[in-house]
Amino acid sequence: MFKKLLITIGAIVAVIVVLVIVAGVIVYKKVDKEFISSLMAKTLNRQVYIEKINISIFSVLSGIEIKNVAISNFKTLRELESLQGKPVASGDVFADMESLRFKVKFMPLLKKQIEIKELVLYSPVINLSKNKQGVLNIDDLIKSRKQEKKEYQEPAKPLTADEIPVGIAVGEIGMKNGTINYYDFKYDQKFQIYKLTTLAHEINIVPKELEKKNEIKLKLNMGIKTIGVMKTGSVQSFDVMIDATGKVIPFDIKTRRMEPEVILHIAVPDGEITGMQIFNSIADISILGDYLGVYISFLKGKQEWKGSKENALDLRYKADKAEITNGKLNLKEANLLFNGAMNIDSKAIDMNLDMVMKKEINDSVKTSLATKIESAINNQEVKKYADYNKLAEAAMKPLLDKDGMIALKTKVGGTTKKPDVKLTQPQLDTLGEVVKNAAGSVAIEAGKGVAKEAARKLLKEDQQKVLEDVEGLFKTK
């Protein structure tokens, strides 16, 4: 019995080995760089040039590696025929890459199933652009030929899980160390994504078990920056590093339609942002300018941070709606906490943004407030007896949280380009009101005896006159 089992196992192994060798020979004989480049050219409607392809009879198991690939911009069939086998002109490169590695699992092939172990682009450089009419240089890849021929076409029905005949299993697919250059001719604006490594891994979608097997895990590392100053938009310039992990749920469980939901934890360890409209709007709140001056106007400048693992947010995205929770950004002057939602299509935002200033600035803010109060009060009698430090303390009190730090809460509405920011906490009086309310109770040092009595009398009998229109004495922005 044991002997028969060994013979059976041996026979199965022998068959598999033979199948691997046969498949390897077919791949080795049929698959070469001309075969792959012509196939890619027809599929993409672009000239494709491959410098080298590493392939052997064991490539079915070890995988295929294509090296130094260049792809041109759109070409007609006639142009493709004339350019076949020629290198892509340097000024006509849509994308190039150092290598492409492709591996499949052999055993599932015997069951007429495909399980991809690896499909990864290494060091690709992709040049995207949008012309003045708003047409992307990849629109021909997005729109089908049938769509272009028909003047009207009914909207395509959403793909459902039931239309997938077999389960999908992919080990790793994506790109490593990529660069994407984007140029918008309409706004004369350039962006660049650099050091891009984005991998979809452990892809597991089984229509019959959609409740349990319906996800794609994601890893994303990249830098994204503006090239030059933006002429429109919600910021002037930025350069930010992003490190994200999470997953995509491709199909809605209830409808079984493809409605991807993205759930990510996004870390932003390094970055700089200049001219962010939300920050500008906070700095433009008049009463904050009166109280904090330069200690709030810093928001209008460049914000920089480096090596901060705490700067992060949790993102949940589905159907154009992005929900943000646990948002944190530690700047040199303040720590920001934020959460809320944004519509990616309309750019509408509904966000709560809290700011806690560094405690080191408290004394400077107090000194600044005391100076403002002193310079703004014109009445010489009040100047004799007023304690400006205590008036400044009274003014600062609503700003301080339980830890003695200046803390602000704002509500952000509107859009990313035109945010509407309102201060929700603290509820601040004007500085003039602060002086009015505090003048009767602040310490008045007017010397001893008669001088002190005179001061008291002044405040008691002529307080209203002395402080009349005191709000108008304060300089505001």
**pLDDT tens-digit series, residues 125-174:** 888 888 888 888 877 775 544 444 444 445 556 667 676 665 555 667 78
Which residue is it, tokens 């009086």? 429
SS3 readout for 24-56: HHHHHHHCCHHHHHHHHHHHHCEEEEEEEEECC
pLDDT at 228: 86
Residues 6+ apart with CB under 8 A from 15: none
Give residue 327's pLDDT.
96
The H-or-E segment that residue 359 falls in is none
Mean pLDDT, the chain, rounded, equals 77
State residue 297's pLDDT score.
Answer: 92
Phi first, then psi, for residue 343 (nearest 5°) are: -90, 115
Position 305 confidence tier, pLDDT thresholds 50, 70, 90: very high
| Higher-scoring residue by pLDDT: 383, 283 | 283
**Could you tell me which residue, 110 or 369, shows the higher pLDDT?**
369
pLDDT at 389 over 90: no
DSSP 3-state of 339:
strand
The gap between the terminal CA atoms of the chain, to the nearest Å, is 96
439-446 average pLDDT score = 44
- Indicate if the pLDDT at residue 400 is higher than 60: yes
Instruction: Answer yes or no: is pLDDT of 449 > 60.
Output: no
Contact, 419 vs 375, CB < 8 A? no
Check residue 108 and give its pLDDT.
53
Which of 224-228, 281-285, 325-329, 450-454 has the weakest average pLDDT? 450-454
- The predicted pLDDT at position 167 comes to 57
Which token pair is 378?
Answer: 């014109």
Classify residue 357: in a domain, yes or no: yes
Is 241 a residue whose pLDDT tops 60? yes
The predicted structure's pLDDT at residue 273: 94
pLDDT digits (tens, 9 = 90+) for 59-87: 555 567 778 888 898 888 888 888 888 89
**Span 1-49, pLDDT tens digits:** 434 333 333 343 333 333 333 344 334 344 556 766 777 777 778 888 8
Residue 361: the pLDDT is: 93
What DSSP letter does each residue of 393-459 carry, written as one string?
HHHHGGGB-TTS-BEEEEEEEEBSSSEEEEEEES-PPPHHHHHHHHTTTS-----STHHHHHHHHHH
Distance CA(386)–CA(463), nearest Å, equals: 12
Judged against a pLDDT cut of 50, whether residue 249 lies above it is answered with: yes
Give the single-character DSSP code of 348.
Answer: B
Average pLDDT in the 223-228 region?
A: 92
Residue 334 has pLDDT above 70, yes or no: yes
pLDDT tens, residue by residue, 174-206: 889 999 899 988 888 899 999 999 888 877 777
Domains held by the chain: number: 1
Res 216: pLDDT: 85
382 domain-assigned: yes
CA angle 373, 376, 378 (to 5 degrees): 120
Residue 308: what pLDDT?
A: 86
Residue 132's pLDDT is 85
Query: Does residue 383 lie within any of the structural domains?
Result: yes
pLDDT at 104: 61
- Percent of the chain at pLDDT > 90 equals 31
Return the pLDDT at 385: 65
Which pLDDT band, with edges at 50, 70 and 90, does 230 fall under?
confident
| pLDDT at residue 379, as a whole number | 61
Does the residue 476 lie in any domain? yes
460 lies in which domain range?
Answer: 268-477
Is residue 283 pLDDT above 80, yes or no?
yes
User: What is the per-residue pLDDT for 319?
Assistant: 87
Tell me what pLDDT residue 477 has. 40
pLDDT at 404: 94
* Confidence (pLDDT) at 163: 66
Residue 220 lies in a domain: no
Calculate mean pLDDT across residues 243-249: 92
The pLDDT value given to residue 153: 47
| Residue 381 covered by a domain | yes
| Residue 162 falls inside a structural domain | no
Contacts by 297-305 with C-beta closer than 8 Å and gap 24+? 298/333, 300/275, 301/274, 302/272, 302/273, 302/274, 303/272, 303/273, 303/274, 303/276, 303/279, 303/331, 304/271, 304/272, 304/331, 304/332, 305/270, 305/271, 305/272, 305/329, 305/330, 305/331, 305/332
- Record the pTM: 0.76
Average pLDDT score over residue span 200-226? 86
The verdict on residue 474 lying in a domain is: yes
Q: What is the pLDDT of residue 112?
A: 47
DSSP code per residue over 91-120: GGEEEEEEEEEEEE-HHHHHTT--EEEEEE
